A and B are shown apart, each in its own frame.
Chain A
Amino acid sequence: MSRRLLPLAALALAALAGPLVTGSAEAPAVGTAYAMLRPPGARLQEAPLAGGGFARAGRIEAREDGLWLAAGVDDSEGRLVRGLRVAGQVRTRRLWLGTDAQGRDLLARIVRGLRTAWIVAFVACAAALGCGTAVGLAAGVGGRWTGAVARFASDALLALPRVLLLLAMGLLARGTVWGVGLAIGGVSWMELARITETAARHARATGFALAARAAGSGRARIALRHVLPHVAPLAAAATPLVATEAILLEATLAYLGVGTSGGWVSWGRIIADGQSLLPQGWWLVVFPGLLLCGVAVAVQRAAPRAPWGPPAR
């Protein structure tokens, strides 16, 4: 495998395997009612209790007759308990990235966010590729009016601020991960259409396209058989840019409060929640953003320079 693809492969693996390793992203790691916002690297003690079950402990005291739980949260019921006897080995778990205001493990949430980002980017890329190539072909190969309408549509969409357009479409998506992906694809196909249009104009003027026209092929046939194979590599080369943009837009949408909901954790939402806890909860802002940038850079670096050349003449 190419070295340029390695970071991307590692991130994909993390999105797939990460949730299995990190534990729950929804249940609080640190219990309710007890110092829930924990800094990165905080230790979390899990103390087995004498009566069965165990508690996530805040404080454990050593007395003459053994270990006693000074304060902790009952794991099964999630309520604050104190003054219970600890039976057995106290385990220590590290919360490497700390917790959020609800006491949820930030590492587990960030890993879930990676999965959301991948799926949204994939759906958005597919939608943008389909839409952009179709409109670009229509503008480049279609008749005078088809071309004018296609160009005008993409220009009108480009004039509207992408964030506002996306905000409205995101509201229509109602928080589903597919809807958000489609909405992002729906606002990012315009550049692809422009690239496709320019390439299609050039391909249309080549000898073999003219020959096909002279032999009686219709516009649609020329577009699909003779122009599309020349346009596809360019569109494919532009796709990583669309994916990068999609990941950033997904986070921005979630930051503005219209992102994915349900179990689909989004980095933008984590950062927005962290903003209200600044400066104490700095880790909630810094870490998701760093990973966001890292993914964007990795996707860009993995961009193929020439994925497959135009077909041999």
Chain B
Amino acid sequence: MSSTASASARTRTPRSSVLPRLARAGGLLVAAYTLCFLLLHALPGDPLDRLEAAPIDAAQARRTREALGLDAPLPRQYWSTLNAYLHGELGASLRYRRPVAQVLAAALPYTALLGASALLLALGAGLLGAAGAAALPHPSRRIVEIGVLWLATAPRFWLGLLLVLLFADALGWLPASHARAPGGAGPGDVLAHLVLPAWTLALPTAAVIARYQLALLDTMRAAPHVRAARAAGETGARLAWRHIVRPSLAPTLALLAVNVPGLVSGAIVVEVVFAWPGLGRASVEAILGGDYPLALAATLSSAGAVIAGRWLAAALERWFHPPAFGEGA
């Protein structure tokens, strides 16, 4: 009796095979689609008003409505849109007058570039920062810790503006916004525009990672296995890497996995702040502007990014997970 109770109380065992995970991800995407669909259709305003066309009479308005499928009852719109999505048709953006797929395809590389560089920066800066802070003597370390706490709570839109104020306005080292210049920008230009948004996106996450990693390093340093290794004659870099740093990486990467949704949300805000021509800015403008086809598709691709990002982080975590921690062997 008690053994069944404790088994049911245990948390779910991690599933390792790919198929159930894919099925669950698909189910989550459909649920996300349903939620977005309902929410977007509950918003105030008529999509026809957003077409910015010349004033049209009632008959014309009806024809446009029919052409866009806006006159159908909500359940039928729901199914037809879902069906179209399953066949890879995302519809046309009301604002850009182009297929949604084209708008997304133009924005996706920018978002991928921003997200990937921010992820790397956050991980690198967080881990190096923690290692650096761990080596500091007491009073200066305390100051660094307080600064990191403030950084971890700073809203990204504000942080971004501070960086603009410092590096673009005061020092003039970097451009502030608008990565896609009308004159046609080369790769170097895009990279120069990338620096500030990427750091803005990365810094709060880096601060969270650094705080956690620092606490882990402290516990690890005093852990019995480190004393044992020291007694066995291990010293210096080998001791630090094998017994202190490497075992502490797995929990930190798990923390990164938890922070992936926050990073995606943060990327949306950062793209708005820096006028970065990515998915996030497109989706914010679409929601605010009542461009339903684009808003739906962009939100769902962000949801896909969250799900994929969680997978990636979980895979990384398994990669670093030392067998000493448990379920292996």
Contacts and interface: CB of A to CB of B under 8 A. Distances in A.
A256 B40 CA distance: 17
Interface stretch (A57-65, A69-77, A98-106, A199-207): A199-207
A258 interface: yes
Given A161-B265, A279-B165, A174 B28 contact: no
B56 interface: no
Given A163-B269, A271-B157, A300-B153, A156 B284 contact: no
- Interface SS of A by simple majority: helix
B216 interface: no
Interface string A171-206: 110100000000000000000000000100110110
Nearest to B40: A168
A302 interface: no
A55 B293 CA distance: 54
Interface string B32-63: 10011001101110000000000000000000
Nearest to B9: A205
Contact of B283 (A152, A164, A275, A282): A164
Interface stretch (B71-79, B220-228, B298-306): B298-306
B303 A159 contact: yes
Contacts of A165: 35, 39
B268 A164 contact: yes
Interface in A267-282: 268, 271, 274-275, 278-279, 282
B288 A258 contact: yes
Nearest to B272: A256
Contacts of A258: 288
B28 A159 contact: yes
Interface centre among A159, A171, A205, A256, by most B CB within 10 Å?
A159
Given A201-B9, A278-B165, A279-B165, A159 B43 contact: no
A167 interface: yes
A165 B295 CA distance: 11
B164 to A, nearest CB: 7
B268 A168 contact: no
Contacts of A169: 39
Contacts of B161: 271, 274-275, 278, 285, 289
A293 B156 CA distance: 11
Given A160-B302, A163-B269, A210-B5, A297 B35 contact: no
State which size class the interface on B falls in: 35 or more
Interface in B134-170: 149-150, 153-158, 161-162, 164-165, 169-170
B279 to A, nearest CB: 10
A26 interface: no
A171 B5 contact: no
B11 A198 contact: yes
Contact of B155 (A158, A168, A252): A252
A204 B28 contact: no
A271 B160 CA distance: 11
A271 B101 CA distance: 34
A205 B39 contact: no
Contact of B261 (A162, A204, A256): A162
Interface residues of A, number: 49
Contacts of A256: 269, 272, 284, 288
A296 interface: yes
A97 interface: no
Nearest to B160: A275
A279 B287 CA distance: 29
B307 interface: yes
Nearest to B304: A159
A152 B156 CA distance: 29
Given A164-B299, A244-B153, A252-B157, A201 B11 contact: yes
Contacts of A296: 153
Nearest to B36: A160
B70 interface: no
B303 A161 contact: yes
A248 interface: yes
Nearest to A257: B288
Given A156-B28, A161-B268, A286-B162, A172 B43 contact: yes
Interface of A: 152-153, 155-165, 167-169, 171-172, 174, 198, 201-202, 204-205, 210, 244, 248, 251-252, 255-258, 268, 271, 274-275, 278-279, 282, 285-286, 288-289, 292-293, 296-297, 300
22 contacts: A159-B261, A159-B303, A160-B32, A160-B302, A161-B299, A161-B306, A163-B265, A168-B43, A171-B44, A171-B287, A172-B43, A198-B11, A210-B5, A255-B269, A257-B288, A268-B155, A279-B169, A285-B165, A289-B162, A292-B155, A293-B158, A297-B153
Give the top 7 A-B pairs by smallest Cβ distance, nearest first.
A205-B9, A156-B31, A279-B169, A289-B158, A296-B153, A163-B265, A161-B302
Given A158-B261, A160-B303, 14 more contacts: A156-B35, A159-B306, A160-B36, A164-B299, A198-B11, A201-B9, A205-B8, A251-B155, A252-B156, A278-B164, A279-B169, A289-B154, A292-B155, A300-B153
